[in-house]
Amino acid sequence: MPSESSQPESELKTELTPRAYSLTRLADVKPERPLWLRLGHIPKGKIVLIDGDPATGKSTLALDIAAHVTTGTVWPDGRRVSLPTQQTCTTNSSTPRN
């Protein structure tokens, strides 16, 4: 099948340059104390996974967290929300809803 480009296929290939990698032994990694958005539950600046069976309230929980963080309202236990210094981003699950 002819190429869509007017250049021969051999000219379309690019030369890959090797990347340098460094490895760190796990024993050499120094643990860091996390900063908490929600003490003991939601660490600041980290990826948090909300997992569970379908229709158990994962999306509702994510929206509730987002509402508290963006408006600064207190958590249900009365603790104040420490407002983030960077933009917060949420994403939908990868499974489409019916």
Q: What band does 28 get if pLDDT is binned at 50, 70 and 90?
A: very high
Q: Which residues of 23-33 are buried (b: 16+ CB within 10 A; e: fewer)?
A: eeeeeeeeeee
Residue 87 has pLDDT above 70, yes or no: no
Distance CA 80, CA 28 (A): 36
pLDDT at 21 over 80: yes
Element (H, E) at 67: helix 58-71
Reported confidence tier of residue 51, pLDDT bands at 50, 70, 90: very high
pLDDT of residue 62: 93
Task: Place 84 in a pLDDT band, splitting at 50, 70 and 90.
Answer: low
- Measured from the Cβ of residue 35, the count of other Cβ atoms closer than 10 Å reads 10
> What local confidence, expressed as pLDDT, does residue 53 receive?
97
